[in-house]
Amino acid sequence: MRAPARVHVLSLGGTISMAQDATGLRAAPADAPDAGLVSPVPEDVEVTHVPVANVGSPSVRPAQLAEVLERARDAVAGGAAGVVVTHGTDTLEESAFLLNRYWDLEAPLVLTGAMRPANAPGADGPANLRDAVRTALAPSARGLGVLAVFDSLVHLADRVTKVSSRSVDAFASEPSGPVALVGERDLRLVYRPTDRSALLGGALPDRLPRVPVLALGLGDDAELLDALAPDALEGLVVEGVGMGHVPERAVGRLRALTARGVPVVVATRVPSGGTSLNHYDYPGSEVDLIRAGCVMAGALTPHSARLLLQALVADGADADRISREFEAFGY
């Protein structure tokens, strides 16, 4: 008899491992960390499970993701077809994006979660988990890097974003839509993705460099930067407007940072379309910001741009490499 295919599940917490109270409110991590992990799996599939943490996803630490990465690599080396990570939905896309910088194996690494606690009516965790297990086993998922599976759809880690804080249909992919639908024995691919960008490989750092996101809108000239100690920032992501624009009075402060060797990346708060390189040339526009030494984030959301910049700074990347790696995410 053929040995069953094996999928290894690592859990980090989130709503999939939470229970709500008797009134249907106040969901919190359940006593059993794998409360959300009971799900029908095909007979010829063996699912192993190791809980890594049971926390709300904003509290997931880089060191825990580093542990997940190492455990996932070990599981594949030990014969697992793929690995599933259960995770809170609030930062699921961040962990997926960060892990995708280091996951250099063909086997799928699949993140999933739930919008409804494990004991809520219509809990979506078991179905999402079953779909994530199917995806981890799917031949077509091999080589696609890190994936997020939610509500029967498969998303690429570099595109997926949470678009609803309430609906079970909580994730979308910009600008392409999901890469596949989950099928019983394989995925139904919607398109074939192009090459992976910014694949660093190696170990995920336990500590990420200090790179905050500063949102600049109407009337905000980034004065906060004047109050920071000179070495407070290891990099900065600006969440600008439109195609990556800021108030003109902020530009001098950003130029002062790049002149001191602090990398500055400009993203946009607009959900679709990304930043540009040369649509506009006026004070505070992308052309002006590039002249000031800033790098444009292209299609990356501000929070993905932050993680990419942190990964690159942690890897010792210089200004040229930083702009090259971001260019790969441009439009």
Residue numbers at the binding site for ligand ASP (CB under 6 A): 14-15, 56-57, 88-90, 113, 115
How far is residue 322's CA from residue 326's CA, in Å, rounded to a whole number?
Answer: 6
Contact 140, 127 (CB under 8 A): no
Contact 137, 81 (CB under 8 A): yes
Smallest separation (angstroms) from ligand ASP to the CB of 65: 14
How far is residue 48's CA from residue 8's CA, in Å, rounded to a whole number?
Answer: 5
Q: Which is nearer to ligand ASP, 86 or 100 (CB)?
A: 86
Q: Which residue is nearest to ligand ASP (CB)?
A: 88
CA distances to 43, 122, 207, 284, 291 from 281, in Å? 61, 52, 38, 8, 10
Smallest separation (angstroms) from ligand ASP to the CB of 251: 36
How far is residue 243's CA from residue 161's CA, in Å, rounded to a whole number?
Answer: 19
Smallest separation (angstroms) from ligand ASP to the CB of 321: 32
Q: Which is nearer to ligand ASP, 56 or 126 (CB)?
A: 56
Q: Which is nearer to ligand ASP, 113 or 302 (CB)?
A: 113
Smallest separation (angstroms) from ligand ASP to the CB of 128: 11
Helix (H, G, I), strand (E, B) or coil at 258: helix
Nearest to 239 by CA among 261, 211, 259: 211
Instruction: Select which of 89, 135, 275, 301 is catalytic.
Output: 89
Whether residue 89 lies in the annotated active site: yes
Smallest separation (angstroms) from ligand ASP to the CB of 222: 30
Smallest separation (angstroms) from ligand ASP to the CB of 62: 16
Q: Which is nearer to ligand ASP, 115 or 312 (CB)?
A: 115
SS3 assignment for 221-241: CCHHHHHCCCCCCCCEEEEEE
CA distances to 14, 77, 112, 223, 265 from 91, in Å? 10, 28, 11, 29, 21
How far is residue 135's CA from residue 112's CA, in Å, rounded to a whole number?
Answer: 11
Q: Which is nearer to ligand ASP, 15 or 304 (CB)?
A: 15
Order of all β-strands in the sheet with 295-296 = 213-215, 236-240, 264-268, 295-296
Q: Which is nearer to ligand ASP, 128 or 276 (CB)?
A: 128
Could you give the dihedral angle defined by the CA atoms of residues 127, 129, 131 and 136, in that order, rounded to the nearest 10 degrees? -170
Q: Which of the residues are catalytic?
A: 89
